[in-house]
Amino acid sequence: MQKSNFIYQILSYPFFYILSQKIMSSLSFNEAIVKKYVKKKHINVLDVGCGPADILESLNNINYYGYDINESYINFARSKYKEKKPKLFCKKFSKKELKKLPKFDVILLSGLIHHLSDQESKQLLILCKKILKKKGKLITIDPILIKNQNPIARLLVRLDRGLNVRNKNNYLKLFKKYFKSCSNKIYIQKFIPYTMFVTCCKN
């Protein structure tokens, strides 16, 4: 679930969404994280909640599958990145999709979990576990609430569209139920102040 007043609705348009991501340095941060974990070529990458698939700016020679329920995002991605031949789907990633898809080396949940309730998150993580290769990686990136947080960072995190921003323990409680290994790190951005939580989960 997410907030839906007029200001947040503007972010449903690709131009404004990407602009906001650039202002907050989210694009460069996400690219750096993904590059850290996606190093091999010609691997299968699944991006659930892919938005306008802007992560393709930093990914080449991979088999990319992106899911998002926002038609504007998907149409934008199909037009902008057609040379990279991504497989993009304007629909919810559900159990029905598993039979149509290959196993994945990397699954990205970038800025998604904090939009989902615990029950919705659990359902998604079960699907991810089933379709992730034995030695594959599930990468999650979400805003986080921490002790002694920069007040501006805490305010901006609270203002996020997602209604389920969690603390470290509550994020890990979700992930560790389904994955044996969950390495994690909190990133504190000084300008513009913000706090992100990244996990790398393995079967």
What pLDDT is attached to residue 5? 54
Using a 10 angstrom Cβ sphere, with 0-12 exposed, 13-18 middle and 19 or more buried, the burial of residue 134 is: exposed
Determine the pLDDT at residue 8. 56
Phi-psi category of residue 115: left, alpha or beta, with phi > 0 → left and psi -120 to 50 → alpha:
alpha
pLDDT digits (tens, 9 = 90+) for 116-171: 999 999 999 999 999 999 999 999 999 999 999 999 999 999 988 899 999 999 99
pLDDT for 156 equals 93
Residues in a beta bridge with 189: 194
What would the mean pLDDT of 189-194 be, rounded to a whole number?
Answer: 93
pLDDT score of 89? 98
pLDDT at 6: 52
Mean pLDDT value of segment 37-44 = 92
Give the whole-angstrom CA distance, residue 48 versus residue 107: 8
Q: How confident is the model at residue 1 (pLDDT cuts 50, 70, 90)?
A: low
**27 or 57, which is more confident?**
57
pLDDT at residue 16 above 80? no
% residues pLDDT > 90 (the chain)? 83
CATH architecture of structural domain 6-202: 3-Layer(aba) Sandwich (3.40)
Percent of the chain, pLDDT > 70?
96
pLDDT per residue over 46-72, tens digit each? 999 999 999 999 999 999 999 999 999
Q: Looking up tokens 């030695």, which residue turns up?
A: 135
| HEC readout, 100-113 | HCCCEEEEEEECCH
Note the pLDDT of residue 122: 97
Is the previous residue joined to 131 through a cis bond, with omega within 30 degrees of 0? Answer: no
- pLDDT value for 20: 78
Ordered by start, the domain boundaries in the chain are: 6-202
Q: What is the DSSP string of 21-44?
A: HHHTTHHHHHHHHHHHH--SSS-E
Q: Is the pLDDT of residue 109 over 80?
A: yes
pTM: 0.92
Residues paired with residue 192 on neighbouring β-strands, in sequence order? none
